Amino acid sequence: MLILVLNAGSSSLKYQLINVETAEVKASGLCERIGIDGVMKHEIAEHRKLEIDQPMPTHKEAIEFVLNILTHDDTKVIETIDEIKAIGHRIVHGGEYFKKSVLITPDVIRKIEELIPLAPLHNPAHLLGIRICKQLLPDKPNVAVFDTAFHQTMPEENYLYAVPHEDYLEHHLRKYGFHGTSHYYVSNEAIKMLNKRDTKVIVCHLGNGSSMCAVKDGKSIDTTMGLTPLEGLVMGTRSGDIDAGVIPYLMDRKGMSPDEIIDYLNKKSGILGVSGISSDLREVLKAAEDGDHRSKVCIEMMSNRIKKYLCSYIGLLGGVDAICFTAGIGENADVIREKACAGLEFLGIEIDKRKNKKRESGNREINKDDAPIKIYVIPTNEEYVIARDTYNLVKKD
Ligand code: AMP
């Protein structure tokens, strides 16, 4: 069964056409600069890459163009749109309503709308994607897969903030966590690799956005992102954990408005802010090698923040069987993996430097052979989880 997976952002649209039975990706791509001029990067089954300038005044033209490129001329991977059986939508915020993926009904749309104050940039774009699919492909079922759903198993003491309780009750102020689809996929792969019952796993999803998750017996019990994706680790352009007192201090000293502060903490901080070079870790690693002091400090800060959460999650879980690294940095940056684990040998966390440096695809083990705790690199595959959830819900229906 072919499933179209869509991730609609405010000016972008990511897509994959997946054969869910074989996990084959028939085509994938990214439409960018929607509403500006429009550029599409399209890849056919990992063999052929194209970059096309295509006017995309709105998301409607972008989705129409995706459907067209999949079915026409030399980019054709399917004969007709009829071969697509359903559409799986990535939705950032499901609040407390959604603990798992669901078929999209008018009630689901209403709830995603209601959650806009919690995800003001993302949920409106997702709703747009859903509405256009319903318009262009009226016979196809649509499924919503939420980034927050996996973390809905967190216990109260871990998801509440230590603020007056009325604000949780009245304003839904709490930790939700994100990257849930990735944390679910990676922890599940780790549990299969561990091949045991009663598992304690820590997932480090380290990409441009980064978060960690403590997973006990397959369920999230804590995660580093919070009400918004700003909390936790040092990320590409986000500060991660910070004293809330920084906000009024900066407002006073620099005359910044609330919107400017949010922009500062979300878009100008993290790797970009500390290094002053780039939000792309590759460039910062290169600068550090060339002796740049701020880049060196940035790498240490990122690694120490991961290490602090590793230790606190080992405490919460009462031990750990496996630590998993995933996403752009987690899968590729051996330096960050090595530094995050360094000094934790006394806990049984012993990275094998040779295995860590080796570049391999697929799931792999990078701990020393006789170490008690497994350290895995597991490439994430959120799109496959979205396709599989969509398939399962459509089949049941
Ligand atoms: P993602 O958001 O998962 O695509 O991850 C993006 C991040 O991964 C960026 O900071 C990249 O610099 C980083 N990244 C990708 N490839 C590498 C690599 N080979 N070495 C170090 N960092 C990498």
Q: Is the CB of 332 under 6 A from ligand 1?
A: yes
For residues 72-94, average pLDDT: 95
Domain encompassing residue 56: 2-146
In this predicted model, what pLDDT tens digit does every residue of 150-187 receive, in sequence order?
999 999 999 999 999 999 999 999 999 999 999 999 99
Do 210 and 333 lie in one domain? The reply is yes
Ligand 1 contact, 208 CB (< 6 A): yes
The distance from CA 248 to its chain's CA centroid, rounded to whole angstroms, is 30
Q: Is residue 27 part of a domain?
A: yes
**132 and 26 both lie in a single domain:** yes
Domain shared by 82 and 212, yes or no:
no
pLDDT of residue 91: 98
What does the alpha-carbon distance between residue 391 and residue 397 come to, in Å, rounded to a whole number? Answer: 10
**Residues in the chain, overall count:** 397
Q: Is residue 22 part of a domain?
A: yes
Of the pLDDT bands very low, low, confident and very high (cuts 50, 70, 90), residue 315 is very high
Asked if residue 222 and residue 345 are part of one domain, the reply reads yes
Is 328 touching ligand 1 by the criterion CB < 6 Å?
Answer: yes
Give the model's confidence band at 70: pLDDT under 50 very low, under 70 low, under 90 confident, else very high: very high
- The confidence score (pLDDT) of residue 195 equals 96
The stretch 124-147 carries a mean pLDDT of 97
The pLDDT value recorded for residue 12 is 94
Ligand 1 midpoint to CA 281 (Å):
6
**Both 132 and 213 in a single domain?**
no
175 alpha carbon to ligand 1 midpoint, in Å? 26
Distance (Å) from CA 310 to ligand 1 centroid: 21
Residue nearest to atom 19 of ligand 1 (CA): 332
- Is 45 within the bounds of a domain? yes
Q: Is the CB of 281 under 6 A from ligand 1?
A: yes
Kindly state whether residues 216 and 107 are assigned to the same domain. Answer: no
The verdict on whether residue 206 carries a ligand-binding annotation is yes
Give the pLDDT mean for 191-203: 97
Segment 300-327 shows an average pLDDT of 98
Position 385 in a domain: no
Reduce the DSSP state of residue 273 to 3 states and report it.
helix
The pLDDT value given to residue 188: 98
234 and 315 part of one domain:
yes
137 and 286 within one domain: no
Q: Is 363 within any annotated ligand binding site?
A: no
- C-alpha–C-alpha distance, residues 65 and 67, integer Å: 5
> Is residue 57 domain-shared with residue 134, that is, in the same domain?
yes
| pLDDT above 70 as % of the chain | 100
Same-domain status, 11 and 140: yes
> What local confidence, expressed as pLDDT, does residue 45 receive?
87
Q: Strand 24-32 vs strand 13-19: parallel, antiparallel, or unpaired? A: antiparallel
**331 annotated as belonging to a binding site for a ligand:** yes
Nearest CA to ligand 1 atom 18: 332
Our answer on whether the CB atom of 193 is closer than 6 Å to any ligand 1 atom is: no
Q: Are residues 205 and 342 in the same domain?
A: yes
Task: Assess whether 276 and 363 both reside in one domain.
Answer: yes
For all residues of the chain together, what is the average pLDDT?
96
Instruction: Answer yes or no: are the C-beta atoms of 179 and 226 closer than 8 Å.
Output: no
- pLDDT value for 396: 84
Could you report the per-residue pLDDT of 95-126, keeping only the tens digit for each? 999 999 999 999 999 999 999 999 998 999 99
Distance in Å, CA 201 to ligand 1 centroid: 23
E strands, the chain, where? 2-8, 13-19, 24-32, 39-44, 48-53, 84-91, 102-103, 142-146, 200-206, 210-216, 219-223, 322-326, 364-365, 374-377
329 lines ligand 1 (CB under 6 A): yes
Is residue 382 in some structural domain?
no
Q: Whose CA is nearest to atom 15 of ligand 1?
A: 328
Residue 90 is labelled as binding a ligand:
yes
Catalytic residues: 147
Residue 333 maps to a domain:
yes
How do residues 346-374 score in pLDDT, each as one tens digit? 999 999 999 999 999 999 999 999 999 99
What total of structural domains would you count in the chain?
Answer: 2
Is residue 370 marked as binding? no
Supply the pLDDT for residue 20: 96
Mark which of 116, 146, 176 sits at the end of a domain.
146
- Spacing, Cα 333 to ligand 1 middle (Å): 7
139, with CB counted inside 10 A (0-12, 13-18, 19+), is: exposed
What are residue 114's phi and psi, to 5 degrees? -60, -30
Residue 47: predicted pLDDT: 82
Which CATH number do you get for residue 59? Answer: 3.30.420.40
Task: Give the number of the atom of ligand 1 that is nearest the alpha carbon of residue 330.
Answer: 8
pLDDT confidence of residue 231 = 98
232 contacts 241 by C-beta, under 8 angstroms: yes
pLDDT at 46 over 90: no
